[in-house]
């Protein structure tokens, strides 16, 4: 394999940074098409579906590196991290997905599950509240997740939501006091 010259490496880095700073995904600098990325996604999803999580993880990392603006890729990355019980990484990936498509119920719901699995009931409750605020579509997919979020809400219990409200009220009072 031929070695790359220092000038070639610097040019590649400069092109990549220019592309990213202009707000475009890295795929633009490398000339990677959406069709090629979709093919990689299909393979990553296949690996995930057949339990080859390490292989799926590598491909989803590749996908988000080359198209950081695609919520579906972040969602896939979060799913792999979640099944591997890397809950913090899953939550971070789901957060990226939500930022790109806040109306998608899936990553909001699975973030709540990750917090619940970590034993962080207050964060799970906050995610439930976020779901209720963000996921307002009346379609079949949202309805399915609405049922799931209701079950999670019941598992968290009323006391968790009362505690969350108490903490939020304290935060509002502190902010009001600072303004005064």
Domain map (residue ranges) of the chain: 32-179
Helix (H, G, I), strand (E, B) or coil at 121: helix
Instruction: Please report, rounded to a whole number, the percentage of residues in the chain having pLDDT higher than 70.
Output: 84
> Above 60 in pLDDT, residue 1?
no
> Above 80 in pLDDT, residue 6?
no
> Above 60 in pLDDT, residue 111?
yes
> Above 80 in pLDDT, residue 96?
yes
> Above 90 in pLDDT, residue 58?
yes
Within 10 angstroms of residue 170's Cβ, the number of other Cβ atoms is 10
CA neighbor of 79 nearest in space, from 61, 99, 101, 65: 61
| CA dist., res. 5 & res. 7, Å (int) | 5
> Above 90 in pLDDT, residue 86?
yes
Within 10 angstroms of residue 26's Cβ, the number of other Cβ atoms is 17
* pLDDT for the residue 70: 94
Residue 82 tokens, joined: 């979640």
Q: Which of 9-18, 29-38, 117-126, 146-155 has the lowest mean pLDDT?
A: 9-18
CA neighbor of 74 nearest in space, from 99, 47, 103: 99
* pLDDT for the residue 87: 98
Domain 32-179 CATH class label: mainly alpha
65 Cβ contact list (under 8 Å, min separation 6): 26
């Amino acid at each position: 394999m031929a070695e790359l010259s220092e000038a070639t490496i610097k040019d590649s880095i400069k092109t990549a940074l220019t592309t990213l700073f202009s707000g475009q995904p890295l795929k633009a600098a490398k000339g990677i098409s959406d069709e090629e990325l979709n093919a990689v996604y299909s393979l990553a999803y296949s690996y995930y579906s057949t339990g080859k999580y390490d292989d799926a993880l590598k491909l989803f990392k590749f996908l988000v590196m080359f198209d950081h603006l695609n919520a579906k890729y972040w969602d896939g990355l979060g799913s792999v991290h979640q099944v591997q019980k890397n809950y913090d990484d899953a939550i971070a990936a789901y957060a990226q997905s939500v930022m790109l498509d806040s109306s998608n119920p899936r990553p909001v719901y699975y973030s709540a599950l990750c917090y619940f699995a970590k034993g962080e009931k207050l964060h799970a409750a906050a995610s439930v509240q976020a779901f209720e605020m963000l996921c307002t579509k009346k379609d079949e997919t949202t309805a399915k997740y609405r049922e799931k979020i209701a079950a999670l809400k019941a598992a968290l219990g009323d006391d968790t939501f009362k505690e969350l409200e108490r903490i939020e009220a304290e935060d509002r009072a502190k902010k009001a006091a600072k303004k005064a």
